[in-house]
Amino acid sequence: MDTTRFFLIRHALVSPEARAVLYGSMDVALCEQSLLDETQLYGWLAARLPAEAIWVTSTLSRTRLTAAAIFAAGYPAAAMVEEGDLVEQHLGEWQGIRHEELVQRLKHPAHPFWPHAGEEEPPGGEAFSQVVARVGPVLERYASCHPGRDVVVVAHGGSIRAAIAHAMRLTAHQALSFSIRNLGLTRLVKQGDDWQVAAVNEEPWIASPPL
């Protein structure tokens, strides 16, 4: 039975200016200092990721730039396919507001580990449950079209949580309990009709043996 392996990486840390607000699906810049400080982590990813993989990013520049940094660290440069349905949650009218302003706009109690609930739908935006609904079909399509292949996905905390939710059949509330680190590696496996979560936030000091 063919197995498709997904290697999902959250983009690098964004700029301090962006981190001061809810940026959601805004196209914000990466933190230049962080790019310099995490050179070793990019090198580890370049060595850890499987050779000759299919590379996929969202349409936001921070994912493409993160992939480019991995290539610069030693992974052979590969063509990248952009998938719009892998972008971060669209926060509608919340995008660009400061974090402390959010509490006054919520209609539901905030999630214990996230600023808003999974069912909260920002005005003009989307609920996290809708992110799960659009990310899942992308994974299924790649598993169907590329059986037996390795797929590297450079995406966002929200879309990676959504991928885990799809694989484990979690509710949006349950999926928001996952903390997805910048440059952390999450591995999913699709075999037949079944999904396996092989790792979440794999990093050098907790890495499994080389592939």
- pLDDT (tens digit per residue) in 87-123: 999 999 999 999 989 888 888 888 888 888 899 999 9
SS (H, E, C) 85-102: HHCCCCCHHHCCCEHHHH
More confident residue, 48 or 117: 48
Query: Phi/psi of residue 54, each to 5°?
Result: -80, 130
pLDDT above 70 as % of the chain? 96
Q: What ranges do the domains of the chain cover?
A: 3-205
Q: Which CATH number fits domain 3-205: 3.40.50.1370, 3.40.50.1240, 3.40.80.10, 1.10.3720.10?
A: 3.40.50.1240
Q: What is the pLDDT of residue 206?
A: 54
How many CB atoms neighbour CB 96 within 10 A?
13
